[in-house]
Chains A and B, each alone.
Chain A
Amino acid sequence: MDFLVFQYPMITVQACLDGILLGVLFALIAYGMALQWGVMNIINIAQGDLVILGGYIAYFMYLYGIHPAWGVIVAPIIMYFVGIAIYKLVINKVVDRDLFISILATFGISILFMQLMNFAFGADVVLANSGYGTTMLFDNNVVLPNSKIFSAFISILFAVCLVIYMKKSKLGRAIRATAQNARAAKILGVDTEKVYAATFGINAALCGVAGALISITFTIHPYMGLPYTIRSFMIVIVAGLGNLPGVAMSGMGLGVFEEFADYILGTEFRIGSVFLLLVLILVYRRFKLSRKREYLK
């Protein structure tokens, strides 16, 4: 077999750089998922659909002649209120129930969003052209679109801002207290209902930022949500809850893995390889944990 990757070393460099820039975006989405998982103990299957919705906001700004990069500011504001609305309508009824109930409920939301977007925006693959041009590296052998660099930079900026906000602000402290012990936080005067709503809103806003960036750098389509959910779930279980450097690292690792899978197996197996990797990681984790259990015995 003559894989292009092994014959031209520059493609390896290209794939690594592409993967890292893509992985930063995945890490941003995964950070939102880790936040709501840690605070509310909910796994949101609709995460990816929120991302795609954010992408469509940026795409529509592009259609109306506004530069899509402004979507990075507009999308999170709109998505924050979308998140609050979803919380008030559905999530607050399942938040203290069995985890499977919340998985199914968010699965329902995911199907709903997917179809509404399909009706509203059509089933075409679209992208918002930012017109940023490209950067050539290593004697023009490696091509990096500036939009990817821009998106990675903005993701890191948002992640850093959020971390500082969680550390310093009053709401951030309340969120962290609720994550540690919801009951104790309630006794000490934290309005946990408000904290949950804010957490879900912040998560949706993060998805909005990521979606706007994805619509600039890659393409969006109403049915592309589920892979983003699976990717962020995978990143969170590899890194663990509340381990921020881990989230960043495993996000980049996943990005690089995907780029190589794309080159080696072919583009038609890209999404399949992501889902298969999830299964393999979970199985590996299960055998590791069962060894630990035997050790404890």
Chain B
Amino acid sequence: MTELQKIRNFSIIAHIDHGKSTLADRLLEECNAIDQRIRAEQMLDSMELERERGITIKATAVQLSYTADDGETYALNLIDTPGHVDFNYEVSRSLAACEGAILVVDASQGVEAQTLANTYLAIDAGLEVLPVINKIDLPSARPAEVKAEVEDIIGLPAEDAPEISAKNGINIHAVLETIVREVPPPAGDREAPLQALIFDSQYDSYRGVIVYTRIKAGTVRPGMDIKMMATGAVYKVVEVGAMSPNGLIPREALGAGEVGYITASIKTVADTQVGDTITGAENPAAQPLPGYRPVQPMVFSGIYPADGAKYQDLREALEKLKLNDASMSYELESSIALGFGFRCGFLGLLHMEIIQERLEREYNLDLITTAPNVVYRVTKTNGETLMVYTPLDYPDPMEIQLAEEPFAKVSLIAPQEYVGNMMELCQQRRGEFKDMVYLDANRVELHYEMPLNEIIYDFFDALKSRTRGYGSLDYELIGYRPSRLVKLDILLNGEVVDALSFILFADNAYPRARKICEKLKENIPRAQFEIPIQAAIGGKIIARETIKALRKDVLAKCYGGDITRKKKLLEKQKEGKKRMRTFGTVSVPSEAFMAVLKLDED
């Protein structure tokens, strides 16, 4: 075990694109931690998707051995946190494993909403926050102003903040020295009953779940019986150790203050919930560590195989993904229109897109995804209260006494010239204005309370486009409020396609219904007969479009030289038909479902 004085536990907070992963990379390099030849572009973001999107999806941790200017060698534990608003809880748990945080601020962009939100999370968790000004080599860099901004807005002393370029390796040494000097060493009694915070876990097919943990009190050793305090699961520890950049390194024990891993032949990550406390089965701690919250998916959507026969494949793929992602949920769902599929829960739309993409890429599945929805709370006239996860379960309007939808507290930051645009957007999305704060002469933070439903679809994209990319967003759930909700049904050729139904705010029903009908008309190919598309609320038609019957789809010429080419054309058309789902007599391509999801793009 490393003595407490020689340990520093820290994480890095940064807005997307402000260079968090690049800085992490440089820190590793500076400590000669990574073999240059095997270094991928960004070491910590190991998932392919993460690299493509430039964001961190899962938290990871790594231990660096750094010999400081004072001649001492320190164990620096870098805990990398997710960087998206969908993963706020995970961020808070990672931060709880640290004593300090490096706040990376872009020298030209300055402080952004996401940075602010995470910084406050860190400050609230009692962390020492150390600003670092990055990208100082860019022509547009204005380090002095940005430092003043950090002091004004966040209230952190920034005068001595290292000015660095992670990309070009400038001044990285100063960052490491700041960490050693400014981040307090951890405290904790290594003889006390065990309290180990789970900040992440990962499934490995050989070892079972690898739990990433920060020991807050006591000591854990191989052979010891441990208990997860929230889930109650008991296991015998197989191995403990540290995460080196080049893999897991077993140790004899992990003591208070240390960050490391535990394996114990655990079969599912569901038993190792992020934020839970591990304690000894024999000499348990009196209380778990504070802050645990069972993961709660906020957005639900139906995922179906485009080819109904692939249902088993989808189930297996979801099972495998779930091994590594306790925040996703899935439950069997069956739709009249789409057959068997799953109602899946996600932390947010980004999370949903990631899962969807992984299913399609890693498991080679063609999927139909239904419109995402939040969880509604309905009190029926008989007094029964139910949580509605899918439009399929939405009660008949006659049986509803009270319908409620989840609300969120939203914070938006952008240069002041966009305030009008942002306010307009928030108003359109039923936002209730709370207050507005000038962060500095130029930038404004707006606070709204808004239905979660209005945020999950495309709010972030709309915000970006209305602020020319300068706007940033953070939100937090604040509870349920009564609302006027309706369930909108879509009928094709007179029959309800249940998979296209969704719940929405009554006032939005008409315009949305019209748009959906238009979109479907664009995306459903003409058939041999006329197809009416209707949108209805409780049987009352509120919008209608008609797809005219197919009149002309013919190859006028087909002689010797044309046959090969025309055969390919027909073959392609046939493959397109294969991907369509038939509802009654109407064939709907999976793109039509996607189009309905992206209603507000134009």
User: Are A and B subunits of one complex?
Assistant: no
